[in-house]
């Protein structure tokens, strides 16, 4: 039988058992949410408790993981994540091998078997991750060396924005390393293909399953690799077809410019709901097809375990349903809380990111003044020190992205800075723009807008906090500024220097409880914000800002979730969105929030970068 026929038959077999696979997939996903997710959260919190902070952000995460305790904690957390995926597949594989036609009996029996193997499955997941890490580590180290060799001469934002030859060389070399790593991993993974089956159906100890699986797959790995490639290609093709049909349906909905926004959004959400349902069926069928495919390579050499006794089946079923109901109730409670927030009056401040960076060159006086003109409550800027001790407004470590000049900020004097044109890249009419000083920004914003000052550190700061504090006090703007930083010790230092000033933690990524960190607010990426995070931050009396929000639908969704500030390159648009929302009823606000949840966006001109 050809590879194509093998994979096609696997999908056909999964589709024939869709009455079993789809309900099992959905039920077990809910079970995983109710059972595994709390375990992951507990493991993360225990891991973070090994440090001296309630949460770890950005560089602190990497430093912690490289420590012995952090590495062990990371393996445990990753194992739990993998266990969640293994759990779903294991239940489907077990239900297939048990041959039950009734989805309830098949699911409950399979869950009973998998739960009885849970300690072994966790051991399998931990060993699997360690083996993959050991295989990948040399390649990751080589990739890191290539990145250091090719991408560290200038600020990383220059490379990401303009893709110069050095960037292309790095992409090519790292791509070659990635392909080599992928080949090695695929070769090994094809040998381990029966490991999970050995744990489930022969009760082999996790320490031995990889070697036994490799031995049994001898002479079959090549065929399996081709089959897996065909399986993945077929899954992607079906997903693309579903997305294409959904796109045609979305295109027929007159969302923008519609006189009846509510009706247009209702149609759009109905399409999105059908798209999600089709995606659910595809996910269940594809996973079922994978189970069918691997099952054909598995030839048990011991008696298969008996089906769980009827009482055990019933207990497993009731446990699964009970936990699923708990998950749904929790979800309903969150939904009720969200509905209350949607109905509440908006209180989000508009924060101009580097001024009005979509409309004027970033971190220039033109951008700052435009943000003020457009009604920003706050103007957000980045500050560093020059070689002669002046605090200037600049985001990157050098001027390569804005002017093609490699001079580092800490090596430049004000005379150097004043000669560098940082506006022409945006438009020739801004050729007169130069890097402003913090003094100039404070003078321009005094009495017109508040200022969020992000303290930037590239390892060359001298006395940044004290110099910023002196300038703010000179202009008597203590009540009209806030400071923040990606570097948590800097936030603590600023709070120690000026306890009464507003200071906040800026986090691109974070693990643990952000609300427990020192500061008056947290600023997080819009991609990481959640109702739970907002609730925990508010519970401690802090505020939460999100960046960088430039899509009007996303702005509305963030306001519905209850954030306290929208950091945006388009402050005028944010102000208009909040104005329109004030005239909307709860139903329209919910529809807008759901539209964003289903991935709908409104096209806006691309920004320079999304970094804070």
DSSP annotation of 566 reads: E
- Asked whether the beta carbons of 552 and 592 are under 8 A apart, the reply is no
Q: Of 428, 288, 296, 445, which is closest to residue 356 (Cα–Cα)?
A: 445
Residue 337 predicted with pLDDT over 60? no
Q: Is 397 helix (H, G, I), strand (E, B) or coil?
A: coil
Query: What would the pLDDT profile of 528-572 be if each residue is shown by its tens digit?
Result: 888 888 999 999 999 999 999 998 888 888 888 889 999 999 999
DSSP annotation of 408 reads: E
Residue 129 predicted with pLDDT over 90? yes
Q: What is the pLDDT of residue 62?
A: 80
- Distance in angstroms (rounded) separating the CA atoms of residues 241 and 248: 11
- Distance in angstroms (rounded) separating the CA atoms of residues 427 and 447: 29
For the chain, the distance separating the N- and C-terminal CA atoms, rounded to the nearest angstrom, is: 55
- Distance in angstroms (rounded) separating the CA atoms of residues 179 and 157: 26
Q: What is the pLDDT of residue 360?
A: 96
- Asked whether the beta carbons of 385 and 465 are under 8 A apart, the reply is no
Q: What is the pLDDT of residue 537?
A: 93
Average the pLDDT over each of 73-82, 135-144, 482-491 and give the range with the smallest value. 73-82
For the chain, what percent of residues have pLDDT higher than 90?
A: 49
Query: What would the pLDDT profile of 27-55 be if each residue is shown by its tens digit?
Result: 777 777 766 667 677 777 777 777 777 78
Give alpha helix (H) positions in 501-541.
Answer: 531-539
Query: What would the pLDDT profile of 577-596 be if each residue is shown by its tens digit?
Result: 888 887 776 656 666 666 66
Place of tokens 């130069």: 434
> pLDDT grade, residue 103 (50/70/90)?
low
> pLDDT grade, residue 308 (50/70/90)?
very low
Average the pLDDT over each of 198-207, 301-310, 394-403 and give the range with the smallest value. 301-310
Judged by phi (left if over 0) then psi (alpha if -120 to 50, else beta), residue 257 lies in left
- Distance in angstroms (rounded) separating the CA atoms of residues 130 and 206: 13
- Asked whether the beta carbons of 118 and 124 are under 8 A apart, the reply is no
> pLDDT grade, residue 333 (50/70/90)?
very low
Residue 312 predicted with pLDDT over 50? no
Mean pLDDT, rounded, for 394-413: 95
Which residues, at least 6 apart from 516, have a Cβ–Cβ distance to it below 8 Å? Answer: 53, 54, 55, 540
Give alpha helix (H) positions in 165-260.
Answer: 165-191, 195-201, 206-216, 221-251
Residue 348 vs residue 324, higher pLDDT = 348
Place of tokens 């009973």: 112
Q: What is the pLDDT of residue 77?
A: 81
- Distance in angstroms (rounded) separating the CA atoms of residues 391 and 403: 19
- Distance in angstroms (rounded) separating the CA atoms of residues 476 and 559: 32
Backbone angles phi, psi at 483, to 5 degrees: -115, 155
- Asked whether the beta carbons of 590 and 342 are under 8 A apart, the reply is yes
Query: What would the pLDDT profile of 245-259 be if each residue is shown by its tens digit?
Result: 987 887 776 655 445
**Domain residue ranges of the chain, discontinuous segments joined by +:** 3-335, 346-597
- Distance in angstroms (rounded) separating the CA atoms of residues 430 and 224: 60
Q: What is the pLDDT of residue 211?
A: 95
How many C-beta neighbours within 10 Å does residue 56 have?
A: 25
Residue 91 predicted with pLDDT over 70? yes
Instruction: Tell me the residue ranges of DSSP E strands in 28-96.
Output: 55-57
Average the pLDDT over each of 268-277, 295-304, 373-382, 561-570 and give the range with the smallest value. 295-304
Q: What is the pLDDT of residue 581?
A: 81
Query: What would the pLDDT profile of 138-167 be if each residue is shown by its tens digit?
Result: 999 999 999 999 999 999 999 999 999 999
Q: What is the pLDDT of residue 31?
A: 72
Q: What is the pLDDT of residue 310?
A: 41
Query: What would the pLDDT profile of 60-72 be if each residue is shown by its tens digit?
Result: 888 888 888 778 8
Query: What would the pLDDT profile of 256-289 be if each residue is shown by its tens digit?
Result: 544 555 666 677 777 777 888 898 899 989 999 9
Quote the mean pLDDT of the chain.
84
Backbone angles phi, psi at 350, to 5 degrees: -95, 125
Tell me the longest C-alpha to C-alpha distance in the chain: 84
Give domain 346-597's CATH superfamily: Phosphatidylinositol (PI) phosphodiesterase (3.20.20.190)
Residue 326 predicted with pLDDT over 60? no
Q: Of 170, 134, 44, 101, which is closest to residue 511 (Cα–Cα)?
A: 44
How many helical (H) and strand (E) elements, i.e. helices and strands, does the chain have?
Answer: 23, 13
Judged by phi (left if over 0) then psi (alpha if -120 to 50, else beta), residue 512 lies in left
Which run of H or of E encompasses 472?
A: helix 464-474
Q: What is the pLDDT of residue 331?
A: 47
Q: What is the pLDDT of residue 601?
A: 58
What predicted TM-score, i.e. pTM, was given to this entire model? 0.80
């Amino acid at each position: 039988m050809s590879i194509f026929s093998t994979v096609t038959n696997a999908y056909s077999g999964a589709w024939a058992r869709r009455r079993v696979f789809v309900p099992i997939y959905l039920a077990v996903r809910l079970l995983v949410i109710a059972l595994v997710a709390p375990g992951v959260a507990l493991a993360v919190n225990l891991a973070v408790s090994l440090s001296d902070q309630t949460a770890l952000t950005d560089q602190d995460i990497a430093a912690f993981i490289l420590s012995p305790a952090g590495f062990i904690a990371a393996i445990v957390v990753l194992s739990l994540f993998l266990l969640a995926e293994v759990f779903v597949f294991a239940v489907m594989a077990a239900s297939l091998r048990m041959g039950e036609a009734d989805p309830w009996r098949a699911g409950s029996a399979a869950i009973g078997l998998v739960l009885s193997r849970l300690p072994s499955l966790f051991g399998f997941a931990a060993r699997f991750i360690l083996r993959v890490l050991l295989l990948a580590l040399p390649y990751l180290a080589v990739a890191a060396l290539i990145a250091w060799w090719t991408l560290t001469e200038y600020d990383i934002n220059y490379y990401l924005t303009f893709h110069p030859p050095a960037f292309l060389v790095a992409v090519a070399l790292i791509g070659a390393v990635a392909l080599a790593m992928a080949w090695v991993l695929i070769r090994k993974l094809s040998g381990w293909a029966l490991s999970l089956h050995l744990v489930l159906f022969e009760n082999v100890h996790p320490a031995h399953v990889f070697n036994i699986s490799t031995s049994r797959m001898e002479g079959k790995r090549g065929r399996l690799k081709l089959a897996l490639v065909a399986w993945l290609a077929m899954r992607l093709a079906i997903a693309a077809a579903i997305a294409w049909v959904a796109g045609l349906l979305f295109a027929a909905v007159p969302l923008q410019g519609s006189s009846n926004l509510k009706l247009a959004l209702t149609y759009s959400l109905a399409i999105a709901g059908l798209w999600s349902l089709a995606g659910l069926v595809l996910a269940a069928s594809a996973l079922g097809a994978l189970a069918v495919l691997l099952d054909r390579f598995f030839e048990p050499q011991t008696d298969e375990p008996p089906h769980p006794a009827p009482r055990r089946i019933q207990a497993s079923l009731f446990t699964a349903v009970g936990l699923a109901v708990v998950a749904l109730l929790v979800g309903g409670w969150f939904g009720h809380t969200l509905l209350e927030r949607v109905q509440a009056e908006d209180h989000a401040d508009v924060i101009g990111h580097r001024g009005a960076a979509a409309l004027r060159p970033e971190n220039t006086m033109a951008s700052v003044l435009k943000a003020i003109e457009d009604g920003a409550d706050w103007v957000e800027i980045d500050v560093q020190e020059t070689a002669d001790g002046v605090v200037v407004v600049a985001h990157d470590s050098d001027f390569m992205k804005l002017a093609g000049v490699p001079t580092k900020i800490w090596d430049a004097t004000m005379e150097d800075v004043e000669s560098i044109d940082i506006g022409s890249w945006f438009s020739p009419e801004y050729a007169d723009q130069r890097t402003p000083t913090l003094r100039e920004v404070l003078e321009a914003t005094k009495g017109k807008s508040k200022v969020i000052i992000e303290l930037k550190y590239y390892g060359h700061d001298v006395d940044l906090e004290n110099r910023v504090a002196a300038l703010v006090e000179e202009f008597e703007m203590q009540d009209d500024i806030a400071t923040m930083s990606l570097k948590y010790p800097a936030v603590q230092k600023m709070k120690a220097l000026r306890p009464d000033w507003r200071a906040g933690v800026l986090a691109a990524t974070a693990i643990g409880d952000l609300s427990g960190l020192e500061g008056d607010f947290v600023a997080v990426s819009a991609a990481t914000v959640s109702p739970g995070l907002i609730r925990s931050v508010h519970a401690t009396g802090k505020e939460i800002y999100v960046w960088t929000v430039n899509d009007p639908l996303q702005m509305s969704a963030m306001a519905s979730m209850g954030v306290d500030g929208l950091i945006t390159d388009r402050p005028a648009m944010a102000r208009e969105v909040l104005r329109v929302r004030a005239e909307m009823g709860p139903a329209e606000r919910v529809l807008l929030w759901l539209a964003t949840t289903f991935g709908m966006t409104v096209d806006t001109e691309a920004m320079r970068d999304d970094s804070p």
